[in-house]
Structure 1
Amino acid sequence: MPQVSAGSRSKAGSWATSSATRASMQANRRRDTKPELAVRSYVHALGLRYRVDVRPVPSLRRTADLVFARIKIAVFVDGCFWHGCPAHYKPPASNSDYWTAKISGNRNRDCETDNLLRQEGWTVVRVWEHDDPRLSAKRIAGIVERKRRA
């Protein structure tokens, strides 16, 4: 592959259009994001206990943000950019083909994850990063309460 100037790409063949973009994207956390911590804090304040960053089904390579294992509830706190939020996602102007395919793949994987977990008897809860964490926690608590009574 031909070398590309340092100003346009951080290294030849990289998905990033610049070294600054690459550094910024690599700095994104896989877990313990601000929206996730906020939801977890409010869920905990409601007296609920859960496991963090766990595979609901050990044989399935999918990790949920909050897991209520005994009652089979998996909660995912999805970022608007990475999961293609219908209300907030805007594809980047540069390298748009790459990002369109990447976000589409993430959305497809999310749907597949939901289906696979449901087939195993799990309830899947998806929360967007822009959702009010207090309301999200109350919604999660309501689902937990209904499952415990069932």
Structure 2
Amino acid sequence: MSKIHARNTKAEVLVFRELRKRGLYFQKHYKRVKGSPDVALPRKKRAVFIDGDFWHGYKFLKQKQRLPKKYWLAKIEGNMKRDKTATAKLKKEGWKILRVWEHEVIKKPTKTIEKVSNFLLENKSKV
């Protein structure tokens, strides 16, 4: 488990690089709010989470049968619960949240980064 990186994953680095190329300035792994969003614009109250497919439970119901130990089930279910709690708390505080899956960034980088960029640049009055 020591080789598992929680920050600066391949998907995150790709998003960070492309957003910077577009001239967007943002906070990485913003720790001042619940959940530490991967990309944050604190003044606009925008947060983007780039969720790893395995760790955050993408297709969890299918994956569940193949997981070798109860530990993994509890770990991933805990992560999913924590994600919901963080999202709810941030929304209650007036934040707008976007969650994207790791596979979306890797398989369709242009489309996903466009989605993230549009979300970050979106005018508050539109949302």
Normalised by the length of structure 2, the TM-score is: 0.85
Aligned to 1:44: 20
Residues 23-42 of structure 1 mapped to structure 2, 5 A cutoff: 25-42=1-18
Which of residues 40, 43, 68 in structure 1 aligns to 2:41? 68
Which digits, 9 at most, give the CA deviation of each residue in 1:67-112, with x for residues without a partner? Answer: 11111111111101000102897244421x2211211111111011
Q: Is the Cα–Cα contact under 8 Å of residues 54 and 65 in structure 1 kept in the other structure?
A: yes
The whole-number CA distance in structure 2 between the counterparts of 1:87 and 1:44 is 33
Q: Quick one: higher RCO (CA 8 Å, sep 6+), 1 or 2?
A: 2
2:111 maps to 1:135: yes
CA distance in 1, matches of 2:62, 2:21: 30
Please tell me the residue identity of whatever aligns with 1:94: P
One-letter amino acid of the structure 1 residue matched with residue 116 of structure 2: I
Equivalent residue, structure 2, for 1:9 = none
Cα distance 1:94–1:144, how it changes in 2: closer, same or farther (>3 A)? closer
Gaps of 5+ in 2: none
CA distance in 2 between partners of 1:89 and 1:50 (Å): 35
Partner of residue 53 from structure 2, selected from 80, 83, 102: 80
The TM-score normalised by the length of structure 1 is 0.73
Identify the residue that residue 123 of structure 1 maps to in structure 2.
Answer: 96
Larger Rg: 1
2:83 alignment partner, one of 110, 122, 144:
110
Amino acid at match of 2:98: V
Counterparts of 1:42 and 1:122, CA distance in 2: 23
Change over 3 Å in CA distance of 1:130–1:89 after alignment to 2:
farther
Percent identity, please. 33
Q: Is the 8 A contact 1:81 1:89 kept in 2?
A: no
Confirm or deny: 8 A CA contact 1:80 1:89 kept in the other structure. no
Query: Which shows bigger deviation, 101-110 or 48-57?
Result: 48-57
* Higher share in helix: 2
